[in-house]
Structure 1
Amino acid sequence: MKTALITGASRGIGRAMALDLARRGYDVLLVARSASQLEQVATEIRALGRQAQHLALDLAGPGAARQVAAWVAAQTTELAVLVNNAGYGLWGRFEELPLTEQQNMLQLNMHLPVELTHALLPTLRCQPKAYILNVASTAAYQAVPTLTLYAASKAFLISFSRGLRYELRGTSVSVTCLSPGATTTDFADRAGMNSELQAVANKVSMTPAQVAEFGIAAMLSGEAEAIPGALNKVSAALTALVPKGITERIAAGIYEKHLK
């Protein structure tokens, strides 16, 4: 039975993707830090008539990718989908944020997807058709002061996805990068954003279910990059046309002015 692995699957977009894939006939492997939240998602998936297993693990910890790969190998030989969704942001000036916290974010946003993809790609290539979906962000399309490393890590993910996609042309594996904009998740709380900035984001937010449905459909259609929401598409397109200095000032006007 075809199986999908989703990291960061306990809530938000990851949870919504797990449920969407289950509705499309996939058994699901769930990985995140909270065992109780994972069990809740697994229960929902089983109610849809699909199998679900979960692994509670700090994915930013040393050797996390190796542990996940070994666990997946023990669960199935038919892994057909890898969704690299785990990640988070930190809001604040680079020099003021603790370096260890920023390194932890980079480990989860960049190194984990690379390591997990490298470990699981041989299994994916054995399938008649397989997919890798990397979750980036519209923040990846320009530098974002006070989200500097977060935006940079997501830009890396887009470049990694496109390069790998080209390398895998002609194989059974398709690579897609999904770049959501503001979404009604706990991202803002985890990033340390204040209520004023959260209120701004909420005005244009999509739901996790909307983002998940769009992203999974794009993945199964073999798209290279997918940006949900008309406003997000326009914004990303404009960044390619407007001088970088201008887009940086606009981003700073949104995010930096709310810092105390």
Structure 2
Amino acid sequence: MKEYALITGASKGIGRSVALQLAQKGYNLLLVARTESELQSLSTLLKAEHAVNVEYLPVDLSKAGAAGDVAGWVKKLNVPLTILVNNAGYGLWGNFDALDATQQMDMVKVNINAVVELSHYLLPVLKLQQQAYILNVSSTAAYQAVPTLAIYAATKAFVLSFSRALRFELKDSTISVSCLCPGPTDTGFAHAAGMDALAELAAKFNMAANDVAAIGLRGMFKKKAEIVPGFLNKLSAVAAIHSPKAFIERITAGLYKH
């Protein structure tokens, strides 16, 4: 039986590109996203172009019990899962006190809770395989605090830290954990985050989702700990790590001023 990969946030952006590229490699796919029509369309495309098996589950990962529902679905399918891509996530732009508290907590649930729960629920399934991979999608925002993207950047810092710790804990197992930290990517993130005013600026630095996905998968299969696509993104990550925090916060505050 062919190997399977589970991808959350699979219908758009990096998740969709990851699905297409894994299908090209012959992986069967388990796709998770909120919108059933988009999942159905992608499933039809993948089956027609790559002759792989595709199952999908429409679910909102911000809802209580959603990650458990996904894990239960996977276990019921009883397929050889070798790759888990925790890609689902989104951002909200604005000052913390001005943004709706419920919406911010929903973002935390998707960006953090779903990653933790799915990883925990599915580790026993992944451990059944001779070689398995977890690819958690973070962001270059993980390397510094970002005023007006305070919660988003903090959630992505969590994903990076969690990934590195889990990777160390599993170093003697058959599971490799990697964290993909892309910078601005042509995924519609700016619009979804309410950042239309900065969309023109972001477009100047955007990488194509296909390129980010390819770099991420290549790094995952090479068992890299952190994967930062693009020279400018690598440079900004290094600068954020080695520069005074207050200095970097002033710069990011200027870039993302609301």
The reply to whether TM is greater than 0.5 is yes
2:55 paired residue number: 53
The secondary structure found in structure 2 opposite 1:149 is helix
* Structure-2 residue corresponding to 1:9: 10
Q: 1:164 aligns with which of 163, 166, 173?
A: 166
Cα shift at 1:22: 0.8
Q: Is the 8 A contact 2:215 2:229 kept in 1?
A: yes
Q: CA RMSD in A?
A: 0.7
Displacement of 1:76 in angstroms is 3.1
Q: Distance in 1 between matches of 2:4 and 2:229?
A: 25
- The answer to whether the aligner puts 1:98 opposite 2:94 as a matched pair is no
Q: Within 1, Cα distance between the matches of 2:66 and 2:200?
A: 35
In 1: Cα distance, 2:231 partner to 2:40 partner: 35
Contact 1:146 1:252 in 2 (8 A): yes
Q: 2: CA distance between counterparts of 1:218 and 1:42?
A: 25
Residue 100 of structure 2 corresponds to residue 123 of structure 1: no
Contact (CA 8 Å) 1:3, 1:76: kept in 2 or not?
Answer: no
Summarize the alignment of residues 105-254 of structure 1 with structure 2, pairs less than 5 Å apart. 105-195=107-197, 197-254=198-255
Q: Unaligned stretches of 5+ in structure 2?
A: none
1:78 alignment partner in structure 2:
80
The offset of 1:194, in angstroms, is 2.5
Q: Secondary structure at the match of 1:90?
A: coil
Question: Does residue 21 of structure 1 match 2:10?
Answer: no
Does the residue aligned with 1:153 lie in a helix, a strand or coil? helix
Aligned length: 256
Aligned to 1:34: 35
C-alpha distance in 2 between matches for 1:27 and 1:185: 24
Contact 1:10-1:37 within 8 A present in 2 as well: yes
CA distance in 2, matches of 1:60, 1:76: 25
Contact 1:77 1:123 in 2 (8 A): no
